[in-house]
Structures are given as C-alpha cells and as structure tokens.
Chains A and B, each alone.
Chain A
Amino acid sequence: MNQGRSSNSSNPALEVVDLNIVVGGRRILTDASFTLNHTTLTGLIGANGAGKTTLLKTILGLIPHESGTIRSQNFGEHGRPSIGYVPQKINLDPDVPIRTFDLVELGINGRGLRRSITKKERFKRVEEALQSVGMSHLADRRVGLLSGGEQQRAMIAHALVGRPDLLLLDEPLANLDVRAENEVVQLLTSLKATTGLAILLSAHDLNPILEVVDQVIYLAESKLASGPTEEVVTTSSLSALYGHHVEVIRVNGRVVVVPGRDSSSHHDYDQQHPNRNLTRSQP
C-alpha cells in the first residue's frame, strides 16, 4: 500500500530512544525506549491516566517532549512522518451529513488547500481503504449513524487511506461490545499480515488483545516496559515497573494484575529499571 514501507521494510517503523515527557509540570514518561517493527502488532497497556494518549500524541508530534529521540524512517506525502492515527472517538451527531466515504476521503491531504492527486486516484484509494476494513457497503452511510465498531473501522480506513507506515490507535476497543471488539481485533490482525504495517494500539485491558499482540509496551508510574507479552506481563517485571509488589495471575487464558501483599521487596524492585531489564529480551 505504501511505497515507503515496501522499500524500507527492513528498517523499524519507529524508534524511540530515552524519551522523557513532562506535561504541565507532571512527569508522564522517564527514559523510555522501544522499537516498533513492520508487520508487528503492539499493545500499549496502562491504567487510565497512565499516559498512553500522551505518548501517542507525542509520537504524532502534537505534544512536545522534554528530551529523547523519536525516529521515523519513512515520510509520506508533504514530508510528514507516515503515521496514521485513530482517535478513541469522534463525536459526530447523526444529523451531520458526513458519509463514511467523506470521512475516509478527508484522510488524503485533509490539510491541503489544493488537492495533490486526481479525483479518479482519490476515489480509487478511498475505495481500497474502505474495502480493506470491510466497509464498502456502508460508504454512503452517515458516520453518526454507524455503530461503535463500524465507526472504528471507518476511522481505521481514514487512517489507512493516507498510506501510512505506522498505525496508532487510541483505545480502539473502549465502549465496544464483545462482538465489535473481536471484529476490530481481527481486522487489525489481518491488516498487519496483509500490509506489513506496524500497529500500536493502546488499551487499559490487555485481555482482548492478549492472543494477537506480538509485543506489549506497559506503562505505569511514569515508566515503561516493553517486550514479548510473556516476558513483560509477569509478577517480577510489573512489580519492578510499579515499584511495589503486584501479582500477575493467569486464569483460563486471561491475565489479571492485582496489587500484591508482599511489601518487603519494595526496595529490590525499585533498584531494577524496567526498560534496562526488558530491552534485552526484545526480538
């Protein structure tokens, strides 16, 4: 779908090194490093208020970072980093006459005072994007009339139509029922496989994406741990991240993180920086 991605697929889609974020005097992230490779689905996990959205917006360049490097190898049209973004929700009233087609079409140079490609090419790209999320039959439907899952798919098509190298999704599963949640997860898995996209999606609950993510980035206490799920989501690594004992319990294929009762090891966990610990285990 994207020429840049095809030609540079050996390079990581995004490289973050020693990132520090402070917003309004509050430290959001300290010395965070991680890499997002192509054909990889990464879960950005953290409780509400942990800083997931802030991190996504920092990657997008909407929030300035204090220090560190965010490196993207591929740049799309207009010299901007080739990143597609899906916000948690758009509040479009059912009375607003914006069709799914219109929303997706605005993904192509929405800032442009002039259109950079022909109408024919534009329509072709919109149809491809709609087809890729299974929304072709709802192209003429008002966005405000779509169900929550369909709105998510429409916004994914909006993000894809710009032919990004990296797709960021902010809590795409929030407010969805189980069936819609499954549809979105399946769609992202398919997109990863067929397009080679690097996908980073944030979620406060790991379980709906547990089976499909290739790696997780876990945010807590202004720190971050990244790596394969089975290495990051463990009692020892999450305790190190939180700076106190937490228990990771696996029940029927689900993961539950609960506050632990063992406070004696507090000091030991604090000494062990989660990034340094887990970077070694990254693929």
Chain B
Amino acid sequence: MIISTLLHDIVAAGFLTNPAVRTAIVVGALSATVSSVVGLFTVVRGQSFAGHALSDIGAAGGSGAALANISPLLGFVAMNLIGALTLEAFQPKRVRGRDLVTGVVLGAILGIAALLLYLDTTLTTSTGTTVSVLFGSLFTLPSNSLPLAIGIGSVSIFTIAWIYRPLLLSSVSPELAQVQGVRVRWISLVFLLALAAAVSLSALLTGAILSTALLIGPPTIATRRTHSIRSALVLSIAIGIGVTLAGILLSYDSVAWTSQGVGWPVSFCIVALLTLVFFLVPRRTHTVGEHLTKDEPRSAPTPPSSSALVSK
C-alpha cells in the first residue's frame, strides 16, 4: 500500500502506458548497457579521448541524416564507423601521437558537422534539428528505430564478448598480448568499431555531445569501487541503466512541475544524475603498497614448492 502510494507520487500518470516513453525505456536501457560495457574497456585502455571524439564525430552523421531525412541512428552509425576507421588507419604507435591524430580528425569532422547543421537550419523546415542531434530527443524517437537499435546493440555486445580475453590482455599490455599471438592492431580496430556503435546508440539518448557522459561515467564510478573487471562490468551496467531509467522518469515527471508544461530534457536529467552519483559514491582509498606494514618485514618470496610445479 505504502509502496503503491509512493510510486503514485513519484511516477507521473501515464508513464508506462505512453508509447514514446516505452520506446525511450527500451532504447535507453539498451544504450546504457552497451555504453557501460564498451565504456569499461575504453576506460581501462585509456581511450576516453577517442570515445569523446567519436561521440562528437557522430554529430556530422546525425545532422547529415536529418538533411537526407533518414533515421538519425543510421547517420550516427555511418559517421562514427568512418571516424573509427580513420582513427585506426592513421594511428601511430606513440600514445601522444594518437591523441594528436584524434584531435585532427575530430576537428575536421566537426567542421563538416557545422556545415551540415547550418544547411539543416537554413534549407529545411524541420525545427530543433540542431538541439536534437547535439543533445538528444529520446521521447521523439520513432518506434521503427527500435529493431535497428537492438541489432546494433546486440552486435556490439557480442563482439566484446567474442574478443573479451585478447581485448583485456591487450588493454593490460599490448606487449604481453603480442607474445601470446594476439593481433593487437586487429583487436584495436574491432574495439573501435564497437565503440563507434556504442556512442551512436547513446547519441540517441543524450545527443552526440553528451554521449561521452554515459560512455565514461558509469565505468569510471564502477572502477573506483570494485576490485575485479567482472564486478566492475556488473556495477557499470547497473549504474548506466539506473541513471538512464531514473533520468527518463525525471524528465517525464518534470513536465508537470511548470505551468507551461515544459519538461527538462532527458539528456540533462541523465547527465545530472550521473554527476550526482559520481560525487556521492566515494572512491575506495588505495595507495600503492598499502598492504605493506612498517612493523612487519615484507614477506620474501616463498620458494616454489616442487609439488606445485612438477609436470602434470
């Protein structure tokens, strides 16, 4: 009874019966899951800037799709895949060099995005394209986008599951991965393509500009609280889905908060909640060698027991 009353107070009328909200929930949960999984490896690999660049690059695809009057998701995906392939093709070995190439490619494609957005506003009668591409408009998403979103999301998740071990090993040390015969460059390319798909999906949710938030936010919080990659993965997905669904609810509820009936954008609600969680969840304090005490000498390596190492 109490829960029912509480839910009635929190959830505005028609939330779950509204078709636009239903589509938003499905696409939102899917995008959050894909972003959280791919984002964790983005954080572990130290490729946050590449992730941010790809999400911004998607703006050119989204604005191009609006101009061509096709699904924005198709535009995001097409441009992000081109961006990922370009980044990989010109990727030098040095980390600093990678950032420079990423910056140059990002600048070039953002220039194209500026041109396409200008043409959108001047040549077409559609309103709000710029805001929609850059900051998302989840509640106006046509339900026919759903199969494409599910397809792209599934491919991304299965790809990461497929290359999980070589991806993790090459993220830890490309050198160790090469020694085990991992094609590090190939794994890097496949991962960038999965990253392109992930930011395309989250661009539907929060727009091209803010899709980095969902890509980097949940994994960063998760890695600060967990010890193993698997628990980080679970927590990252939970945070991603949690803030996304809460953001959709908050955005829907906010319509009733003003006399004009103008609600807050979903992207703002999701990013605001994510930021709140980031600051509320404390980092586990760690220092290197914290387990070593001053009083007790560091344990010398135990001589290997022959029984542990004999041939099996």
Binding site for B on A (CB under 8 A): 1-3, 5-6, 60, 62, 78, 80, 83, 85, 87, 90, 92-99, 102-103, 106-107, 109-113, 115, 128, 131-138, 140-147, 150, 153, 155, 158, 162, 179, 183, 186-187, 190-191, 194-195
Which residue on chain B has the smallest CB distance to residue A86? B176
Interface residues of chain B: helix, strand, loop or mixed (majority): loop
B258: min CB distance to chain A, Å: 41
B133-168: contact bitstring with A at CB < 8 Å (1 yes, 0 no)? Answer: 000000000000000000000000000001101101
Binding site for A on B (CB under 8 A): 43-44, 46, 162-163, 165-166, 168-169, 172-173, 175-182, 222-224, 226-229, 231-232, 286-292, 298-306, 308-312
A173: min CB distance to chain B, Å: 14
Instruction: Judge whether A102 and B162 touch: CB under 8 Å.
Output: no
Known: A97-B228, A131-B308, A132-B309. A111 touches B44 (CB 8 A): no
B45: min CB distance to chain A, Å: 9
Which residue on chain A has the smallest CB distance to residue B161? A113
Contacting residue for A113 out of B162, B173, B286, B298, CB 8 A: B162
Determine the distance from Cα of A80 to Cα of B180 in the docked complex, in whole angstroms: 8
Which residue on chain B has the smallest CB distance to residue A84? B179
B288 contacts which chain A residues (CB < 8 A)? 94, 144-147
Per CB-CB distance, the 6 closest pairs between chain A and chain B, nearest first, are A134-B301, A134-B302, A132-B304, A110-B169, A147-B289, A1-B309
Instruction: Judge whether A111 and B286 touch: CB under 8 Å.
Output: no
Instruction: Judge whether B304 and A110 touch: CB under 8 Å.
Output: no
A5 contacts which chain B residues (CB < 8 A)? 311
B224 contacts which chain A residues (CB < 8 A)? 95
Determine the distance from Cα of A133 to Cα of B299 in the docked complex, in whole angstroms: 11
Contacting residue for B176 out of A110, A112, A133, CB 8 A: A110
Known: A1-B311, A6-B311, A147-B288. A102 touches B228 (CB 8 A): yes
Known: A1-B311, A96-B44, A145-B288. A134 touches B180 (CB 8 A): no
Instruction: Judge whether A78 and B181 touch: CB under 8 Å.
Output: yes
Instruction: Judge whether A97 and B223 touch: CB under 8 Å.
Output: yes
B310 contacts which chain A residues (CB < 8 A)? 1
Instruction: Judge whether B308 and A111 touch: CB under 8 Å.
Output: no
A40: min CB distance to chain B, Å: 17
Supplied contacts A98-B229, A142-B286, 18 more A-B pairs, CB within 8 Å? A1-B310, A85-B175, A90-B176, A94-B288, A102-B168, A107-B180, A109-B165, A111-B169, A113-B163, A131-B305, A132-B308, A134-B299, A141-B291, A147-B289, A150-B289, A187-B304, A194-B304, A194-B306
Determine the distance from Cα of A143 to Cα of B172 in the docked complex, in whole angstroms: 10
B231 contacts which chain A residues (CB < 8 A)? 97
* Residue with the highest number of chain A CB atoms closer than 10 Å, among B163, B301, B306: B301
Instruction: Judge whether B181 and A111 touch: CB under 8 Å.
Output: yes
Determine the distance from Cα of A92 to Cα of B45 in the docked complex, in whole angstroms: 10
Instruction: Judge whether A111 and B166 touch: CB under 8 Å.
Output: yes
Which residue on chain B has the smallest CB distance to residue A158? B176
Determine the distance from Cα of A195 to Cα of B81 in the docked complex, in whole angstroms: 49
B287 contacts which chain A residues (CB < 8 A)? 145
Determine the distance from Cα of A133 to Cα of B303 in the docked complex, in whole angstroms: 7
A24: min CB distance to chain B, Å: 13
A1 contacts which chain B residues (CB < 8 A)? 309-312
Instruction: Judge whether B229 and A94 touch: CB under 8 Å.
Output: no
B169 contacts which chain A residues (CB < 8 A)? 106, 110-111
Determine the distance from Cα of A6 to Cα of B311 in the docked complex, in whole angstroms: 7
Instruction: Judge whether B289 and A146 touch: CB under 8 Å.
Output: yes
Determine the distance from Cα of A132 to Cα of B169 in the docked complex, in whole angstroms: 22
A128 contacts which chain B residues (CB < 8 A)? 308-309
Instruction: Judge whether B301 and A186 touch: CB under 8 Å.
Output: yes
B232 contacts which chain A residues (CB < 8 A)? 97
Instruction: Judge whether B227 and A110 touch: CB under 8 Å.
Output: no
A97 contacts which chain B residues (CB < 8 A)? 222-223, 226-229, 231-232
Instruction: Judge whether B286 and A94 touch: CB under 8 Å.
Output: yes
* Residue with the highest number of chain B CB atoms closer than 10 Å, among A111, A140, A145: A111
B167: min CB distance to chain A, Å: 10
Contacting residue for A112 out of B44, B165, B179, CB 8 A: B165
Instruction: Judge whether B165 and A106 touch: CB under 8 Å.
Output: yes
A150 contacts which chain B residues (CB < 8 A)? 289
Determine the distance from Cα of A191 to Cα of B292 in the docked complex, in whole angstroms: 24
Which residue on chain A has the smallest CB distance to residue B168? A106
Instruction: Judge whether A62 and B178 touch: CB under 8 Å.
Output: yes
Instruction: Judge whether A195 and B309 touch: CB under 8 Å.
Output: yes
Determine the distance from Cα of A83 to Cα of B179 in the docked complex, in whole angstroms: 9
Instruction: Judge whether B227 and A111 touch: CB under 8 Å.
Output: no
Determine the distance from Cα of A12 to Cα of B240 in the docked complex, in whole angstroms: 54
B304: min CB distance to chain A, Å: 4
Which residue on chain B has the smallest CB distance to residue A112? B165
Determine the distance from Cα of A139 to Cα of B301 in the docked complex, in whole angstroms: 14
A94 contacts which chain B residues (CB < 8 A)? 286, 288
B307: min CB distance to chain A, Å: 9
Instruction: Judge whether B301 and A187 touch: CB under 8 Å.
Output: yes
B226 contacts which chain A residues (CB < 8 A)? 97
Determine the distance from Cα of A93 to Cα of B276 in the docked complex, in whole angstroms: 24
A98 contacts which chain B residues (CB < 8 A)? 44, 168, 172, 228-229
B182 contacts which chain A residues (CB < 8 A)? 110-111
